[in-house]
Amino acid sequence: MGGGGTAGADGAAQTAEAGAALESEAGDGNGAKTRGGAAGAEAGGAAGAVLASSGAAGTVRAAGAEEGAGGTACAVQASAGGMGSIDDAAEIEPEDTVRGKAAGAAAEGNAEEARRSTAGAVRGVGLASVAGGAAASAVGAAGGGAEGGSAAGRGRERRGAEDGGLAGWWAGGGRRRVGGWGGEACAAVMGAGVMVIAARFIDVDPVERTGQVSALAALQVRFSVLGLVLLGVLMGAHRWRGGRAYGAAKRVVCAGFAGLASGFLGGGIVVALRGTPWPLFGLSGDTGRLVQWSESIVHGHGSPNPTYPPLTLHALAWWAQLFHNGNTASAFRDMQIGGAALTGPAAYLAWRFVLSPVWALVVGVVPAYAIIDPYKPYGAVVMIVLLPLFVVSVRHTMRVGDMAWRGVLVSAGLFGLLYSVLFLTYPGSSLWSAPGLVAAVLLLFPWGKARVGKLLAFIGVTVAVFGVLCGWYINDLIGPGNVDRAYGFDAYTDPAFFSMWRTDMPGDVGQWPPPGELAGVGLFSVLTFAGLGVALWLGWRRPLAVTVACVFIGTWLWRMEVASRMWATGTVQLWPRTGNQLLYCILVLGAAATAFAASRLASGPPVPSRLGAHVGVLAAVLLVLGSAASSVSDYWMPAKTNSYKILAYVSQTMRKPDGTCPKYAPNHECSATGDQSWMNNFAGPRNH
């Protein structure tokens, strides 16, 4: 081992701060995951970063390796002590196949293959020695990993997956990756569950405004204390045993934040329904219909509405039979509370297949709070989860041309199954997004005669599986009797406005959209549009930016096309509901623009403290999510107003099954159906 390699190994062994740990994670589970200090090359030939241990400091940076596949900016920093790091700022799209192949090739001494994989996108800065194996130097291969995972092993893991061998992928490191993902899933779900359980011990009158304020403050105390405890765990892991557990602690903390955030809203719904057994809206509106339809399934008669998402209704019926002796109203109440609480974990875990932990939290979870919906939570959850699934799908199609046929066919079947499950849970998002998904594949696929056949096979099998599982339901959806004439207030608003979601309740809500500063367009909208532009600028050819932008454009065009026919047809066809998807897409692009910018900054001088960067970002996220959770929870507190507050108010004024009034019914008065004053707001379409 050369002097540079020795210095790197010593630096890794003496890790004084966990921020020095190398971390590069493949988002789809097929890629590499490495930790440890940067190491030099073997004397046999692969070039490494040669650092003088006598105080000279140097930096070797590998930025890019886009190769047309949505590159990853990666900063490998070597200091005087031989310590290397890759910041989260450089882990924007850790799924990059190119970098994983380069790492595997360089570790095996194949400098030529590594050079081809990185396409020459290597820059040396500082004291570096770059010889024939320049790509191997850039990825910091051939060094000892703190967790014992060699780059050669990681290369074998990726090759096993690309050859379609699940057993090879499992033996090559898949088991460890699944275990890590499972740990994050447990942390996220536990965070959500703790907040929901804690809310049950908040003793207030949820109908009185002072009780609502006290409840929101109590939830905020619990959320803040638990968040600070998680930050303490992160800082403790930085010091404990030289920071060996820092990477695992960071993942658990980020997952816990995601669970706490949506668990706050779940706890808010627990408070709003305190004292009443009914779900939001009692048995009125959509709640009553869903309870009735799922009850029909419980009694063995099937769903009386063939156009409503069947998986949702059957899941509701199954839950009612399993836990509530067939009571679908109680089951729907559980779905509202649990669905709201699990939205954060679902968003975080889905985006973890695309992004590193901190960026999955920032890009995926924070924007999700703009569309989170406890009333019918499955629609928002599907919408949120679909977006990272689209990114993974597009990324996968970019490399199917180089995969073995077995891998192509097996992965196509899995994607077809995933899309079918989400479509049968809530079809709207899939229909609106389909044109954009097709456009993203056409734009990013590396076209070539040798690859087209496998792409067509992948698409064909995916569509075939989807058609077998969902064809009957699609036939019901496009039938002539499936017409939507639900004219909520939003059907009369400017279709170009989607930056805020008020409600879809009927009636007069005053001026909407709110007045804007720039020709009627608000500053928030202008900033989100700018974020879209910056994301495309910095993330051009990245699957994340291109896919989300294409989905946004496709949904926008679908919205305008349907809205343009409203006068002639007298139908709405759910076009106002596309606003939530447009809002989530553009917020994700804005957050991604920040991530891409941070990636570019990572190629500059190293940040003073990696721990400080993580704590600073997570503290800001804690404040944002805590404030958003309180605001959204307040939005669902019971009150007799023309907003979603009326839903909990109906539940609080509806007579219980035993004939008594809910404990906190105003003036102890209730009725069989609850307060129905909201019905006065309904009006038919103005032109038909």
Q: How far apart, in whole angstroms, are the C-alpha atoms of residue 607 and residue 17?
A: 13
Q: Are 137 and 78 in contact (CB under 8 A)?
A: no
Q: 3-class SS at 32?
A: coil
Query: Are 286 and 399 members of one domain?
Result: yes
Query: Are 188 and 158 members of one domain?
Result: no
Closest to 572 measured CA to CA, from 581, 580, 582, 562 = 562
Q: Is residue 671 part of a domain?
A: no
pLDDT band at 350 (very low <50, low <70, confident <90, very high): very high
pLDDT in the model for residue 682:
53
Query: Are 242 and 154 members of one domain?
Result: no
Instruction: Please check the confidence at residue 643 and state whether its pLDDT lies above 80.
Output: yes
pLDDT band at 476 (very low <50, low <70, confident <90, very high): confident
Q: Is residue 43 part of a domain?
A: yes
Transcribe 286-314 into DSSP letters.
HHHHHHHHHHHHHTTS--S-TTS-HHHHH
Q: Is residue 215 part of a domain?
A: yes
Number of domains in the chain: 2
28/614: higher pLDDT: 614
Transcribe 615-667 into DSSP letters.
HHHHHHHHHHHHHHHHHHHHHTS--SSSSTHHHHHHHHTBPPTTSPPPTT-GG
Q: How far apart, in whole angstroms, are the C-alpha atoms of residue 217 and residue 634?
A: 11
Instruction: Please check the confidence at residue 70 and state whether its pLDDT lies above 50.
Output: no
pLDDT in the model for residue 559:
93
**Tokens 């989607």 found at:** 498
Helix axes of 405-425 and 449-477: crossing angle, nearest 10 degrees: 20
Query: Are 288 and 427 members of one domain?
Result: yes
597/70: higher pLDDT: 597
Give me the chain's average pLDDT, please.
Answer: 78
Query: Are 153 and 190 members of one domain?
Result: no
Query: Are 440 and 544 members of one domain?
Result: yes
Query: Are 573 and 435 members of one domain?
Result: yes
Instruction: Please check the confidence at residue 135 and state whether its pLDDT lies above 80.
Output: no
Determine the average pLDDT of the residues in 471-478: 88
For residue 439, what are the domain limits? 184-490+512-645
Closest to 17 measured CA to CA, from 237, 252, 249 = 237
Q: How far apart, in whole angstroms, are the C-alpha atoms of residue 600 and residue 302?
A: 55
Q: Is residue 622 part of a domain?
A: yes
Query: Are 155 and 196 members of one domain?
Result: no
Q: Are 237 and 304 in contact (CB under 8 A)?
A: no
Query: Are 531 and 428 members of one domain?
Result: yes
Q: Considering the entire predicted model, what is its pTM?
A: 0.78
pLDDT in the model for residue 7:
37
Q: How far apart, in whole angstroms, are the C-alpha atoms of residue 501 and residue 487?
A: 16
